[in-house]
Amino acid sequence: MLTAAEARRLEHLRISTSRASPAPGVRRARTPGAGLEFHDFRAYQPGDDPRSIDWTIEARLRQLLVRVCRAEGRTSVHLLVDISRSMTVGRPSKLACAVKMAAAFAYVAAERRDVVACATFDDRVRARVRPAAGRAQLHRVLGALTHLPGGGRSAIDPALTSYAEAVRGPGLAIVLSDFLDADA
């Protein structure tokens, strides 16, 4: 699906959900946790890691305070590929172009250790790869994108609504379609 040269060009890209990122390859999560970026102080509680105690504050104020860092977040990327009849038109077909773009998005997300999911649809969701991260997930997504049977009836709204109802949590949905709906 992707040539070695195309994969090398994609290695330097990332999928961003905001205009500015604090540093290349790092995303801020909304929740505190393990990370490098300082978030806040809180009172020490039994069971906290003693390495997280700020000893300079303890020396000045005689209080045990723990440094809380902001966790590094992962983006959930949902790739939705339209396989309806209208996508089979052209040379190369719109479907072939959409599959190549979906493969590129999946590669970039997997390289950045983001969570990737994939689904194909026409008038309903046909095939679905559940969200996961890692190289094995990239191979599952690429496998789902090979030999797609194009040619079904197009009904984008019900298909995307059905997918949205099945998926939980925040994420970035990338819809690869010509958005041609004969009924609309």
Instruction: Please name the residue that has the structure tokens 């990239």.
Output: 138
Q: For residue 176, is pLDDT > 50?
A: yes
Query: What pTM does this model have?
Result: 0.68
3-state secondary structure of 130: strand
- pLDDT tens sequence across 137-160: 999 999 999 988 877 888 889 999
The ranges assigned to domains in the chain are: 4-12+74-176, 28-72
Predicted confidence (pLDDT) per residue in 78-123, tens digit: 999 999 999 998 899 999 999 999 999 999 998 888 999 999 999 8
**What are the distances in angstroms from CA 81 to CA 10, 47, 93, 125, 149?**
20, 47, 13, 10, 12
Query: What fold does the segment set 4-12+74-176 form as a domain?
Result: Rossmann fold (3.40.50)
| Closest by Cα among 69, 158, 172 to 122 | 158
Give the N- to C-terminal CA distance of the chain in Å, as an integer. Answer: 33
